[in-house]
Structure 1
């Protein structure tokens, strides 16, 4: 292998794939980055078995020139640190001896011992299978994942809840996540989708990493689901993730179908108020008191003090109410609501609060279960 590549292109590719490196893996090869130089360009791949990320740099004669093909797996941490500390714009990667990568940049020359690329996990191209395929705008997909994945559970007690449910039917894709206390759901319309329906549960952690790699530009992300894997492809990046086996719990009976009160509040004002009162909240529990024209927010911590804040209501329909909930969970929901104002629906003391964007075109819905208090 003999490759000439600009430092910016190399750092960009390594920065993407290093997120999937299995740093503490007992399998040494998973602590490395697989570099494969071919006639069409160079791919950089890292994998932790649950997720594999590949970044492809095409040969263009400007940012990359492949003079000799080859492949090697090199230690990710040392490779990343070495490249990052070099100032020269051009980096040369060459295999002169078996399983040893020589890195030349300016007046510096480094030799890294590597491993056999043939032993590295590869991304399944799905030969012989007929995967379910769909495409969507990258920016839209990124914002949707950000909204939904935030409420997925981080506890392995119920592994199924650590994932985000993808339910595709006809031309609609519904993403759902819940940790048992909160729930987030959003439905997207898929143009030209003709495949059969499918259900898949993708680890929320992997999905969040995918969304971070995507651009906010007007690009397209391709998604393929087959067997127990899902692939995301966009702008030279390819990410493959394992799926979580099992059946996602039904959420149909969780969402209240009627409500006793609905209030409309400016999101920015409410978020600021919730952040303020949660500072003094014992175990993050805050109280919401909705009156005719204001929403009061209160919290206290014994022997420390208490705090009260008010937010004006833009609209109210129904009866006044008082309810307690986890302020930190509420903050997460508000921060990930892409709207100027939100609707909050109250369905009773023991029913979940429903939070909706005040935009009929957005199909986003959040639930948060109230907390029972003594007063």
Structure 2
């Protein structure tokens, strides 16, 4: 159809000619796109279609840019084949054309790929061809040039990550917007791939993105049960997902009021989020957490490996909720460069 009716939050009455379809790997983007093309072809041929109901316009041509491979006979690379097919679509597509594209321009580097896809969307929107592009390029959703197009919308096939059972749930529901832009590793983790490989990829992704909020879209934030000001997100030692909270000064040293000296045992500076492995090593005596040390490189966690030389580990400072500290809890002195919890 020339008009795709969505809810009022997305659809404002303008005709929609183009859809950018986002979704995690195996969510069904390509299957949905191909099924639309097959249904249109079957309907115009007079066959029954695999749908309870279907409304469509009569098309004069259907163009697809789906299979990505090189052409050995003509000596063309994958990217060259993509561009020639896209050129053919531009030369022939009109208002009575249906254009289906799967991961267009993924045969080149990301920057040029985004620019090429964005320009293709603008051209097809101008010719008012009906098109659907499946893509992983979430940069498209925030581009000003595309946001100004009233006849192009973003949709995604939603997927939920079941943290308790460590699995992805594909609900096959189309929802407005581009959805989460970070999901590749979550999909790989659901396949139970090599843990060392996943940890290495996770560290690299964090360094490249430099945006831990983005990484937490699929895994809901949770605060520590000991102190609501502390978010339990990543291990301060290795950067992996934090599952436990460790007291630097043990809870058993607290008095009846819950204080160690003048500092509450559950004060956020006495709590560190840890992964299960490093928490176990601390309680087994393999590691000793002495506290935080202020250095020229920022706040670092002073961790000592038993039977080895002490070392300072660059700490991912625990995320702290913007909540004022209790009135009777003093913050560490400004001129203090080292916090040794053994002094409590």
Same fold at TM > 0.5: no
Q: Which has the larger radius of gyration?
A: 2
The structure carrying a bigger helix percent of its residues is 2
Say which structure is richer in strand: 1
What TM-score bracket applies, with the shorter chain setting the length?
A: under 0.3
TM-score (normalised: structure 1)? 0.22
TM-score, normalised relative to structure 2:
0.23
